[in-house]
Amino acid sequence: MKRDEIQTEIVKILEESFEFENPGLDDNLRDVHGFDSIDAIELLGEIEKMLGFAISREEKQQAMEIRTINDILDYIEALIVERNK
């Protein structure tokens, strides 16, 4: 999956499942959109569905540092690279 494809899917998920309106790639998800830890857990589930594989506990811990959509994209790209080693 290329970054632009991942971005399209993530923005779609955020708009449809979390009711974001026109999210910016560098918006702080917590401050701008009220994204909380429960939302993060739900988003990780959506990411697992999108990727077609389970994310390990350790990988989920790494996700707790995510603050922006660009962070999400970097995170997903790193997961894909790790799986393709």
pLDDT in tens, 5-16: 999 999 999 999
Domain with 59 in it = 3-83
- Overall number of domains in the chain: 1
The whole-number average pLDDT for the span 59-78 is 95
- pLDDT at 19 (0 to 100): 94
- At residue 1, does pLDDT exceed 90? no
- Grade residue 85 by pLDDT with cuts at 50, 70 and 90: confident
Say which residue the tokens 């959109």 belong to: 33
- The CATH number linked to 61 is 1.10.1200.10
pLDDT mean over 65-73: 96
Please list, in sequence order, all residues whose beta carbon lies within 8 angstroms of the beta carbon of residue 69, skipping any fewer than 6 positions away. Answer: 7, 10, 11, 14, 23, 24, 25, 26, 27, 29
Residue spans of alpha helices (H) in 1-85: 3-17, 29-33, 37-51, 57-62, 69-83
Q: DSSP letter for 22, please.
A: S
Q: Give tens-digit pLDDT for 33-63.
A: 999 999 999 999 999 999 999 999 999 999 9
On whether the pTM is more than 0.85, the answer is yes
